[in-house]
Structure formats: structure tokens, C-alpha cells
Chain A
Amino acid sequence: MIARITAAETLAELTKVCRLPAYAIPTLAFPLGFYVFFAIAMGPSRGIDGTTVATYMLATYGAFGVVGCALFGFGVSFAIERGQGWLLVKRASPMPPLASIVAKMLTSLTFAAAVVLLLSVVGAAFGGVRLAPATWLELFTVLVLGAIPFCALGLAIGSLAGPNSAPAIVNLVYLPMSFLSGLWIPIEGLPPAIARIAPFLPTYHFGQLALGTLGGGHGSAAFHVLVLALWALGGVAAAAYGLRRDEGRTYG
């Protein structure tokens, strides 16, 4: 029963999102645009961290794109549905509450997979990216599953922010965090002051985890996973707080 409901929810969620070009297009186009501009147009075969720029940036812009899917797909859509009361209609129904959360997460993961595939195809076709199938599969898996902790952070923003302020808040979190973590410009090329901030950000650990699959990156994979898991737990706790706070609000 729960599996069937979750499947139906996911299908509805995907349908909804695909009919909203304002979500679907930027989610795919921004990482692709950045990747083409920074990785491919500016010399894809230059060496960095034991690989080529185009390969390195497939990992970092892949991570950037995946985080966007999770924060926008989850955070903004959740904030809107919560703010407009749609969440209440669902809560009054016998739908298991987890079903819609899992459905939104699966939708974000689907978009994440699409972003990574798109960047991989472009990287292989125009950036000379050559990866062993097993390596690519590992990178793909890490990138797509990496959406999960950011879905939790998106859920937190969506549970705390108002429907109108959520997109702005997501942008304020997403863009600086990605830059400071070396997802736009490799961390090696950033001023040392910024490189010292990076480890405090979840995006840094995600980027390094992805680079690790290519034999690069800093730190151990287990440590990055642990840090991301803690961020995810923090996100879930913040979301639980926000939803409980909603319950205490006066209704008309």
C-alpha cells in the first residue's frame, strides 16, 4: 500500500515538475552552462588534481547541479505547498506523511540523474572526458545519492521559510556555498582563506567525495559521508521543528 502510494506520488510529482519549465529548465541549464563555459570552453584538457579539467569539473559541476535539484526541487516546492496549505490537505488525508517526502526525494534524484547524464554526455563529446565504465558508474552513483542530504537541507528550508522567501533563501544558500566549496572554481585555485572555510560546508564534502571516485580530492570518503550524514540529520531536525511550529500557529 505505502509503496503504491509512494509510486503514485512520485509519478504525480514528476508530472507536476516537468510541466513547470521555471523549475525544469534552470535546474538542467545552469550546471550545463557553467560546465560548458568553465570546463570546456576554457581548455578542457589542461591537467588538474591528476586528471583533466573537463573530468575534474564533471565531478564538481555534477555536484553543483545535483545540489540545485535537491534544494530547489525539494526546498522551494515544499515551501510553496506548505505555505499555500496544500500540505494540510494531504495531512488530512490517509496518505502516509513519508510517502510525499520520499516522492519529492525520488523526483529530485531523477532530476539529479538527468543533470549528471547530461554533463557526462557533453563532457565525453566535447571535453574529451574518458572514464572507465566502472569509474563513471561510481561517480554517477555518488553524485546522484549525494542529493539525499541536500534533500534534507531543502526540507529544512521548505519547512522554515515562507513560500515567497524560499526561492531567495535557497539562492542565498546555494550559490555562495557552491562557490566557497570549490564547485565552481577548483578549491586549489581559491584563496587560502576561502579554502579554510570550505570544510565547514556540506557542499565541500560532497565535491570531495565525487572527486574521490576519480582518484583525486582530499580527505577520506568515510569522513565526507559522515559529515554529510550529520548535515542531513540536522536538516531533518530543523524541518521537524519548523513543522511543529506551524502546528502552533493560529488558524482563521
Chain B
Amino acid sequence: MHATEIPARLARVTKRYGAITALHDLDVELRVGETLALLGPNGAGKTTAIRTLLGIVAPDAGFATLFGRDPRVAKNRARVGAMLQVAGVPATLTVAEHVRLFATYYPHPLPLAETLEIAGLRGLEKRLYGELSGGQKQRVAFALAICGDPDALVLDEPTSALDVEARLALWAQIRAYVARGRSVLLTTHDLAEADALADRVVVLLGGRIVAEGTATEIKARAGGMPRFAGATEFEEAFLSLTRTATSEESMV
């Protein structure tokens, strides 16, 4: 892997849905080895950004790249694993069958046992997907994202539906993956999550970047924040940023 390589990039991307502009001239770059959080409330454009990056959505202006290549071409997605917010994974395949099938899409997949180990699915491999708990289902989604041994992970709200215990477990798994030298781009509306996982945070509001930096820098920008990144303080910082951006917009 070259140090100069950019695992994932949105370059001046604009995306409209009818009258709504979901992304305004957005520039986001995921660097090698970092964990980047796209942080924002619902409707900020996080999911559209992720889907543009993965080639599911074509931008109206600008472009997206994965390791320098067009994500609209299937094989250019081979170095990236993704976790999306979706409801319906086929219920009548077992955990192992799902993982084994997904692994065939990638040129150099992890061995099944290793994927199951990393995702915390050991002992559940013969279980039908439909019989799993919510937390276990999310671990399957994570397993599908990592089974191809990708250099970068793109995770859309990975823990939004999880209880505290399952969320902490998934955080640990994401950190373990990053420790292998991989890059991670994740979206979240949960400030504590961005703070706990990300090296760098991009705050998105109305499809624009309103703040960017480490969690600490963002809090500083928002003004007079406490020393520690407790969830509540961070939330306040975020809300104050949001208010600033909104009032700027209304002045224009």
C-alpha cells in the first residue's frame, strides 16, 4: 500500500433528490490508517455521502473514488468492506453460509474461522440469520464487511440499533480492525461514538461540512468546552455548532 494512496474520497460532490440538495459541494478524504467519523444529525447527508462513496448513488456533480478508482465499477470496490443500514438480510441462510458467499466476492478473503472470530460469531455459524438477536445480526453485518480482508471499511451508523453492551463489543471489533493498519470511515449521530473511535471528525449539516478536526479541536471551536470528552459535553458542543451554522445560514 502506498502512503499517498487515498482509500476513499468524495471530491466536490453535489447530490440532489428532486428539490432537496442532500450534499453541497462536499469534499471528504479518508486517509490511510485513520478512523474518520462523519458526524451529524439525521438528514445531514451522511447516508447519501456513504452511498455515493460506495457507488450506489451517482453524484450530480463531482466524483467519488475508492483507492483512486471509480466505485461505480464492481471490481473497484474489492478493497473496501461496507456495513449499511438495512433491514432485510435473507433469513433462511446460516451465518456461515452468508459469510462464505460474501467471501467469494473478494480476491483474497479471510478464512471463515478468522472472520467469525473477529466478528465474535464463533459458535453461531450454523444458526439461521433469522434466528439471531439484534446484536448478533449486526455482528453478521460486520462480518460481511470484513470477510474480504479489505484495506478500508465504510460503516453507516454501525451501532445505531444496538444496546450498550453490543455497542461496546462492536467498538472493540472496529478498533481491533484499525489496529491491523486499516482505514475506517464511519457515520454516526452519536457524539460519544465519534469521540471513542475516530482520529478525525467531520461534522456534517445540511449536506455541508460545518466543522472538521479532532474531537478536541471541534470542542474548542465550539467554545469553552470542558477538558474531557464526556458524551454530554460533546453533544453540547455539537449543538452549539449546529446553532452557529443555522444562524449563519439564516443571516444569508
Q: Which of B31-39, B41-49, B166-174 forms contacts with chain A? A: B41-49
Q: How far is the CB of A15 from chain B (nearest CB, A)?
A: 6
Contact B105–A248 (Cβ < 8 Å): no
| Interface residue? A121 (CB, 8 A) | no
Q: How far is the CB of B150 from chain A (nearest CB, A)?
A: 9
Q: How far is the CB of A244 from chain B (nearest CB, A)?
A: 10
Which residues in B have their C-beta under 8 angstroms from that of A95?
Answer: 74, 105
| Interface residue? B56 (CB, 8 A) | yes
**Complex Cα gap A96–B78 (Å):** 11
Shortest Cβ distance from A87 into B: residue: B86
Shortest Cβ distance from B48 into A: residue: A251
Taking a contact as CB atoms closer than 8 A, the residue among A88, A89, A97 that contacts B74 in the complex is A97
Taking a contact as CB atoms closer than 8 A, the residue among A1, A86, A97 that contacts B89 in the complex is A86
Within 8 A of A (CB), among B49-98: 51, 54-58, 74-78, 82, 84-90, 92-93, 97
Contact A85–B104 (Cβ < 8 Å): no
Contact B97–A89 (Cβ < 8 Å): no
Taking a contact as CB atoms closer than 8 A, the residue among B43, B107, B144 that contacts A89 in the complex is B144
Q: Contacts A5-B105, A94-B148; is A19 near B92 (CB within 8 Å)?
A: yes
- Classify the secondary structure of B's interface with A: loop
Contact B74–A85 (Cβ < 8 Å): no
Contact B89–A251 (Cβ < 8 Å): no
Contact B106–A86 (Cβ < 8 Å): no
| Interface residue? A247 (CB, 8 A) | yes
**Complex Cα gap A88–B90 (Å):** 13
Taking a contact as CB atoms closer than 8 A, the residue among A1, A15, A84, A96 that contacts B87 in the complex is A84
**Complex Cα gap A20–B54 (Å):** 31
Taking a contact as CB atoms closer than 8 A, the residue among A12, A80, A96 that contacts B101 in the complex is A12
Contact A9–B93 (Cβ < 8 Å): no
Closest 8 pairs (CB-CB, A-B): A84-B88, A85-B86, A19-B92, A92-B82, A94-B78, A250-B17, A92-B54, A94-B77
| 18 pairs from A and B in contact (CB 8 Å cutoff) | A9-B101, A12-B101, A16-B92, A19-B93, A19-B128, A20-B92, A80-B88, A81-B88, A84-B86, A88-B51, A88-B86, A89-B82, A89-B141, A92-B154, A93-B77, A93-B148, A94-B148, A250-B20
Which B residues have a C-beta under 8 Å from some C-beta of A? 17-18, 20, 22, 42-43, 47-48, 51, 54-58, 74-78, 82, 84-90, 92-93, 97, 100-102, 104-107, 128, 141, 144, 148, 154
